[in-house]
């Protein structure tokens, strides 16, 4: 009792100390565009207290009532403010962009940072050479330590040995389910609208959950508070553009769109007398920002993007009845979201998000004949409506809390027919409507100036028909800043996942099916510990990071693509192995040069990951198909002058695993109509027990900035993908000739003779280009018109 009383007194004294001081909070923004500055540094030079702005540009700290603030952000002029206020204050600080920033092409945080979190600024994104000649978010992320893409054409990523379905993609705080176009050739994010990308690979704050391996938090730009301006761009795969400007004195907008350029070429190439097909994709992003007053900001954003594969056929039957048919496969997602940022007081900030997202694969078929009409639609989808409220509250100078709630209503469907009168087969074993609710709290304790502790907890409740699951996720982060610019961190995090992803490469390109948890498929669960070190050198001219981690996962799924070529079942759960365990551990090292005419990044990543299922490989652990233990990346950028800049990227990865054949045997086919067949089959060794040849590739690009006859800025990008034409393996196969034309022993019972192992490589040396024309302010409509007319 006495101890409890003493503790209470101690807390009251500490809180009173806090109350006696002044609380300063607010936003840091670009003076020109009103765009928030993420990662800007606010330093109280008198008391030597510093904080950084979060992804909303928000900061909050407590100090004495007479302070000198230094606000700095790379690429902007440092601003010094003297504040002598007897009471708490909310500030909006505008920073002026520097006029000459040629030697600073990258924007990175100025202080040592947690190596569990990787950031990619818009400038860095632009500097990574790509196959299409235009920046691609997902491909660019793969240069960061701990992140790797799965295949040459794949945008699916694996973070620290996790599965591709364990990554949460947030677009302005709202979940986006599907991020690929063209079987992973490109991702759905339009670079022009992106402000900043932050990837959490471990040490997850409690506000994030529902995915095991990473949180990819993408912040979109707000439109600039100017007259309308924008840009259009044309590359070898697509054309895109954006327009932004102010709607009113307090509101702005930005709209961006993208559309494939090669649809007609495919249609022409595929055209036959009575049949043709085409493929394409498109994306549209819209964001409006409304600064209601100093305490309230609203922004709304919407995204709509699809891939589509369409075919037409005209046929005539024996009675000369003509039938016109049309098949349309569409897959992609849309998102509508609203965000409200509210500074309740100088020590309290509330961020509320309401979002609706749907990912779906639609197969539509339509026929119209002389005597008949028929329509059919199959849909596989995942929809969610999410409400999230986050409350940032500074209790005292040494304690800042972030707490909140999140609730999502998820509706799943797997290839359900929408044909009238069809009795949909019951697929789900536990229903298809799930309510996921979470409550979270994070306390950031500044124990000393050099020692910080972050304690967090997240409670999750998943409810489906007759299934209720509750789990608790503890989070811990200890930060120690020593010897000026050295930063050491220890992290522990547990995560759960309320749905499972399986990819179906064989149905319509690379489609994804999400399955809700069930008794058979309980929530995936992971525990991760990590120890990281980072250091700034020469006032952040150089920075180095090093981190080691260990992650254990359970309740994993494995989908082995059981597929009957001539059968279209609703879905076949027989191919899903459940109850898997996984481990991943590794080492990530990176070094960056952040300023100067040359900038660059070197990263090395060692990652060992295995999976273990009772039903696979005799319950022995094996490497998953996307495991690549060694990854090495170099990215160098050189700003030669105001017109020319060059980028070079080299990547090396261990080859993907494959399962070797070790022998042949006779197998029996099930008896059909009284006939039994025997044919030759291969005997394979342990799953993924050998590796393909290592992967390496050099890409280069050059940007040339010039001006059109009308005075518009134009940037030409020329690139070469796979400069030295490395034949990297895509997959291995056994055949008796170097082609994908196989002799099927099961068709004729004849033996497979002279089998050899072959490698399939795709994407040899490949040139690319794109051009982007900027249109400034008032001249916009006139410029577009003139550009089309004269250029």
Partner 1 sequence: MLNTRYKYFIGISIFLIFTSCISLIEDNFPPYEQKVVVNALINNNKPITIHLSHTANVRNDSILPVTDASIELYENSQLKETLTENEAGIYQSQTIAQQGNTYSIRVICGKDTVYAETTIPNQAQLNHYTFDPHAWLDEDLFFNPNVTFGLKNNPDEKMFFEASVIIAPSPNSMYQFSEYSILLPLFSNENITGDEIIKSIDFQHSITSSHAKYSYTLVIRRTSESYYQYVNSLSAYGLYRYPDSFTSFSEIINIYSNINNGRGIFAAYNEMQSAPYLLRLINDE
Question: Which positions from 72 through 131 interact with partner 1, judged by CB under 8 A?
Answer: none
Nearer of residues 20 and 668 to partner 1, judged by Cβ: 668
For partner 1, which residue of 64, 122, 250, 417 counts as binding (CB under 8 A)? 417
Residue 787 makes contact with partner 1 by CB under 8 A: no
Residues 6+ apart with CB under 8 A from 376: 363, 364, 365, 366, 417, 418, 419
Q: Which of residues 138-167 bind partner 1 (CB under 8 A)?
A: 150-151
d(CA 768, CA 744): 39
Nearer of residues 87 and 567 to partner 1, judged by Cβ: 567
User: Residues 199, 144: contact at Cβ < 8 Å?
Assistant: yes
d(CA 743, CA 754): 12
Residue 740 makes contact with partner 1 by CB under 8 A: yes
Binding segment for partner 1 (CB under 8 A), chosen from 50-58, 307-315, 390-398, 707-715, is: 307-315
Nearest to 240, CA basis, from 788, 786, 771: 771
Residue 537 makes contact with partner 1 by CB under 8 A: no
Residue 756 makes contact with partner 1 by CB under 8 A: yes
For partner 1, which residue of 68, 263, 429, 554 counts as binding (CB under 8 A)? 429
Nearer of residues 1 and 567 to partner 1, judged by Cβ: 567
Residue 789 makes contact with partner 1 by CB under 8 A: no
Residue 758 makes contact with partner 1 by CB under 8 A: yes
Coil vs helix vs strand at 9:
helix
Q: Rounded to 5 degrees, what are φ and ψ at 125?
A: -60, -40
Residue 723 makes contact with partner 1 by CB under 8 A: no
User: Residues 154, 600: contact at Cβ < 8 Å?
Assistant: no
Residue length, the chain? 791
DSSP assignment string, 484-496: TTEEEEEEEEEEE
Task: Say if strands 147-149 and 499-504 run parallel, antiparallel, or are unpaired.
Answer: unpaired
Q: Which of residues 28-67 bind partner 1 (CB under 8 A)?
A: none
d(CA 363, CA 329): 5
d(CA 631, CA 629): 7
Binding segment for partner 1 (CB under 8 A), chosen from 209-217, 294-302, 349-357, 664-672, is: 664-672
**470 class by beta-carbon count within 10 Å (0-12 exposed, 13-18 middle, 19+ buried):** exposed
d(CA 550, CA 496): 16
For partner 1, which residue of 48, 99, 272, 423 counts as binding (CB under 8 A)? 423
Give the other-Cβ count within 10 Å of 204's Cβ.
28
- Give the angle 216-218-220 at the CA atoms, nearest 5°: 175
User: Residues 168, 177: contact at Cβ < 8 Å?
Assistant: no
Binding segment for partner 1 (CB under 8 A), chosen from 35-43, 386-394, 447-455, 662-670, is: 662-670
Q: Minimum Å distance from CB 564 to partner 1?
A: 6
Binding segment for partner 1 (CB under 8 A), chosen from 332-340, 440-448, 643-651, 755-763, is: 755-763
Q: Which of residues 673-692 bind partner 1 (CB under 8 A)?
A: 673, 676, 678, 680-684, 687-688
Q: Minimum Å distance from CB 566 to partner 1?
A: 5
For partner 1, which residue of 295, 520, 608, 782 counts as binding (CB under 8 A)? 520
d(CA 281, CA 279): 7
Q: Minimum Å distance from CB 31 to partner 1?
A: 42
For partner 1, which residue of 270, 294, 424, 778 counts as binding (CB under 8 A)? 424
For partner 1, which residue of 247, 292, 760, 778 counts as binding (CB under 8 A)? 760
Binding segment for partner 1 (CB under 8 A), chosen from 5-13, 106-114, 323-331, 695-703, is: 323-331
Q: Minimum Å distance from CB 455 to partner 1?
A: 40
Residue 509 makes contact with partner 1 by CB under 8 A: yes
For partner 1, which residue of 97, 474, 738, 749 counts as binding (CB under 8 A)? 738
Nearest to 490, CA basis, from 526, 452, 525, 458: 452
Q: Minimum Å distance from CB 718 to partner 1?
A: 12
Q: Minimum Å distance from CB 325 to partner 1?
A: 3
For partner 1, which residue of 81, 92, 537, 669 counts as binding (CB under 8 A)? 669
Residue 262 makes contact with partner 1 by CB under 8 A: yes
- Give the angle 80-83-85 at the CA atoms, nearest 5°: 170
Give the DSSP H or E segment for 143.
none
Strand ranges for 85-126 from DSSP E:
89-95, 117-121
Residue 764 makes contact with partner 1 by CB under 8 A: yes
Nearer of residues 401 and 752 to partner 1, judged by Cβ: 752
Residue 748 makes contact with partner 1 by CB under 8 A: no
Residue 620 makes contact with partner 1 by CB under 8 A: no
Q: Minimum Å distance from CB 14 to partner 1?
A: 55
Q: Which of residues 550-569 bind partner 1 (CB under 8 A)?
A: 558-564, 566-569
- The residue count for binding partner 1 (CB under 8 A) is 105
Query: What is each CA distance from 486 to 393, 482, 494, 545, 772, in whole angstroms?
Result: 28, 5, 27, 10, 41
Residue 652 makes contact with partner 1 by CB under 8 A: no
User: Residues 517, 557: contact at Cβ < 8 Å?
Assistant: no
Enumerate the β-bridge partners of residue 762. Answer: none
Residue 316 makes contact with partner 1 by CB under 8 A: no
Strand ranges for 273-398 from DSSP E:
275-293, 296-316, 322-345, 348-369, 373-396
d(CA 300, CA 322): 49
Query: What is each CA distance from 170 to 146, 167, 211, 409, in whole angstroms?
Result: 19, 10, 12, 17
Q: Minimum Å distance from CB 717 to partner 1?
A: 15
Residue 419 makes contact with partner 1 by CB under 8 A: yes
For partner 1, which residue of 239, 734, 774, 780 counts as binding (CB under 8 A)? 734
For partner 1, which residue of 96, 449, 519, 782 counts as binding (CB under 8 A)? 519
Nearer of residues 569 and 748 to partner 1, judged by Cβ: 569
Nearer of residues 5 and 724 to partner 1, judged by Cβ: 724
Q: Minimum Å distance from CB 331 to partner 1?
A: 14
Residue 374 makes contact with partner 1 by CB under 8 A: yes
Nearest to 629, CA basis, from 590, 584, 659, 689: 584
User: Residues 361, 369: contact at Cβ < 8 Å?
Assistant: no
Nearer of residues 4 and 670 to partner 1, judged by Cβ: 670
For partner 1, which residue of 89, 123, 296, 570 counts as binding (CB under 8 A)? 570
């Amino acid at each position: 009792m006495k101890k409890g009383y003493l503790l209470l007194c101690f807390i009251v004294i500490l809180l009173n100390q806090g109350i006696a001081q002044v609380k300063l909070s607010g936003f840091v923004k670009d003076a020109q565009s009103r765009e928030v500055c993420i990662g800007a540094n606010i330093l109280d030079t008198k008391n030597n207290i510093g904080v950084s702005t979060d992804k909303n540009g928000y900061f909050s700290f407590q100090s004495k009532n007479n302070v000198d603030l230094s606000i700095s952000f790379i690429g902007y002029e440092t601003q010094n403010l003297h504040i002598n206020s007897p009471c708490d204050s909310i500030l909006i600080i505008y920073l002026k962009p520097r006029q000459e920033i040629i030697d600073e092409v990258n924007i990175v945080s100025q202080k040592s940072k947690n190596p569990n979190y990787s950031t990619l600024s818009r400038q860095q994104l632009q500097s990574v050479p790509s196959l299409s000649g235009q920046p691609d978010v997902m491909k660019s992320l793969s240069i960061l330590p701990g992140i790797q893409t799965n295949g040459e054409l794949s945008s699916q990523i694996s973070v620290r040995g996790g599965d591709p379905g364990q990554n949460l993609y947030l677009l302005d705080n709202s979940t986006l389910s599907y991020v690929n176009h063209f079987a992973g050739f490109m991702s759905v994010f339009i670079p022009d609208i992106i402000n900043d990308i932050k990837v959490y690979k471990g040490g997850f704050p409690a506000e994030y959950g529902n995915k095991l391996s990473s949180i990819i938090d993408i912040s979109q730009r707000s439109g600039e508070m100017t007259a309308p301006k924008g840009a259009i761009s044309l590359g070898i795969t697509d054309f895109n553009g954006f327009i932004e400007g102010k709607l009113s004195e307090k509101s702005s907008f930005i709209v961006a769109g993208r559309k494939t350029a090669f649809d007609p070429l495919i249609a022409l190439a595929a055209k036959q007398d009575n049949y043709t097909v085409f493929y394409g994709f498109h994306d549209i992003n819209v964001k409006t920002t409304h600064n209601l007053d100093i305490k309230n900001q609203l922004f709304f954003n919407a995204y709509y993007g699809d891939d589509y594969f369409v075919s037409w056929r005209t046929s005539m039957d024996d009675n000369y009845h003509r039938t016109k048919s049309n098949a349309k496969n569409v897959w992609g997602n849309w998102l509508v979201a609203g965000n409200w940022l509210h500074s309740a007081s100088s020590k309290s900030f509330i961020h509320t998000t309401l979002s609706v997202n749907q990912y779906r694969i639609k197969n539509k078929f339509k026929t119209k004949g002389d005597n008949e009409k028929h329509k059919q639609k199959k849909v596989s989808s995942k929809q969610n409506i999410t409400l999230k409220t986050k409350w940032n509250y500074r209790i005292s100078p040494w304690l800042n809390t972030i707490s909140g709630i999140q609730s999502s209503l998820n509706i799943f469907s797997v290839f359900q027919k929408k044909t009238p009168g069809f009795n949909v087969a019951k697929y789900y074993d536990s229903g298809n409507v799930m309510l996921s609710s979470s409550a979270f709290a994070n306390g950031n304790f500044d124990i000393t100036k050099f020692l910080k502790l972050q304690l967090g907890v997240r409670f999750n409740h998943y409810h489906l028909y007759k299934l209720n699951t509750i789990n608790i996720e503890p989070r811990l982060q200890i930060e120690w800043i020593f010897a000026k610019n050295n930063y050491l961190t220890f992290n522990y995090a547990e995560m759960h996942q309320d749905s499972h992803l399986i990819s179906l490469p064989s149905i319509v390109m690379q489609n994804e099916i999400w399955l809700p948890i069930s008794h058979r498929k309980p929530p995936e669960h992971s525990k991760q510990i990590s120890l990281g070190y980072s250091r700034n050198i020469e006032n952040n001219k150089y920075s180095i990071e090093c981190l080691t981690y260990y992650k254990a996962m359970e309740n994993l799924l494995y989908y082995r693509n059981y597929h009957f070529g001539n059968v279209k079942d609703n879905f076949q759960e027989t191919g899903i192995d459940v109850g898997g365990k996984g481990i991943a551990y590794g080492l990530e090292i990176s070094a960056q040069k952040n300023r100067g005419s040359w900038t660059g990044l070197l990263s090395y990543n060692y990652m060992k990951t295995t999976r273990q299922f009772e039903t696979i490989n005799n319950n022995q652990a094996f490497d998953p198909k996307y495991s690549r233990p060694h990854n090495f990346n170099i990215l160098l950028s050189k700003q030669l002058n105001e017109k020319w800049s060059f980028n070079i990227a080299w990547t090396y990865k261990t080859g993907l695993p494959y399962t070797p054949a070790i022998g042949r045997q006779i197998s029996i086919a099930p008896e059909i109509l009284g006939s039994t067949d025997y044919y030759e089959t291969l005997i394979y060794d342990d799953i993924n027990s050998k590796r393909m040849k290592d992967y390496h590739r050099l890409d280069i690009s050059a940007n040339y900035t010039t001006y059109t006859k009308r005075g518009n800025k134009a940037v030409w990008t020329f690139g070469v993908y796979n400069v030295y034409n490395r034949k990297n393996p895509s997959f291995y196969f056994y055949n008796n000739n170097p082609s994908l034309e196989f002799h099927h022993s099961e068709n004729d019972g004849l033996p497979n003779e002279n089998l050899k192992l072959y490698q399939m490589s795709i994407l040899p040396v490949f040139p690319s280009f794109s051009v982007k024309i900027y249109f400034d302010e008032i001249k916009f409509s006139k410029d577009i018109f003139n550009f089309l007319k004269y250029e």
